[in-house]
Amino acid sequence: MTGSTMSDQLSGRVAAVTGAGRGIGRGIALVLASRGAAVSVSDLDGAAAASVAAEIESSGGRSVSAAVDVTDPSSISRWIDSTIAVLGQVDICVPNAGVIGAAGFTTRKDYNSDDWRLTWGVNVQGLVNTADAVTPHMKQRRYGKIVNIASHGGREPRGVPDPGRGSIQAPYSVSKAAAIQWTHLLAIELGQFNINVNAVCPGRLWTPMWEAIALNHKALNPELSALSAREIFDRNIKATMPLGREQTPEDVGKAVAFLASEDASEITGQALNVNGGAIMN
């Protein structure tokens, strides 16, 4: 019996990933590359994107990189056009770039207008801008896989908020709920062009974003003052996740790889939780 192996699951495909210079985006880019895809790595920090691309190439993969601002449609369009010119096409698009809040988030109790403006601009409009740039190409080829990165924070709130959260994460949670709804609507629109649109909703990962959340908890809760940000994170994991462990960027990347593969050809308009069971829906 013969068949494809995991290492060639995405062989011949080209993936474009935003916010891939670090954290979840880096994990996604590395997993897609390990499954055989050529990867165009973008990030607001061009040096970070170039570093990830070099990492992929040093492992025998194909990669290009660019500095991209997802809030600027022209920036994304230039990146997609360049990716197609160099790598030939874009089969897989992963709009991953995201923010938790504006400057000063870690020490504030309540959200401000900058939090709303930034989270909406990056976490929602950034997804729309990315889709607008890549879908004409996918429609023409009548093929594409779009995997938005949302969050289980965009699901229905459950129980009492975590210590220190209060209203501070409201802009982030609302933006991620919008990302899930955008996924549903885009899947309906693009299905006729053989384009699958899904989302992955990560739970809690030790990334710079969650470190900022932990520091916010610490700043607003005196009883946590003796704990490090990592200790606060670990306590949260044990209290909220049935599996009792954090997720990793690679865990998210593996879910993205599945949804981007032909194994998921009949899956569209879905939002998959990768969260250790913290939220089940």
Structure tokens at 132: 């607008």
105, 111, 172, 233: the catalytic one is 172
143 is catalytic: no
* Measured distance CA(201)–CA(162) in Å, rounded: 18
Secondary structure class of 51 (helix, strand, coil):
helix
Q: Which of 184, 193, 117 is nearest to 150 (CA)?
A: 184
Place of tokens 């900022």: 212
Chain centroid to CA 247: how far?
A: 13
Dihedral sign computed on CA atoms, order 52, 29, 177, 168: negative
Judge whether 23 and 209 are in contact, CB under 8 Å. yes
Judge whether 39 and 63 are in contact, CB under 8 Å. yes
216 CB-near residues (< 8 Å, 6+ apart): 105, 106, 107, 108, 164, 165, 168
Secondary structure class of 31 (helix, strand, coil):
helix
Q: How far is the CA of 189 from the CAs of 7, 93, 107, 119, 184, in angstroms?
A: 32, 16, 41, 25, 9
φ and ψ at 149, to 5 degrees? Answer: -100, 110
Catalytic residues, by residue number, are 172
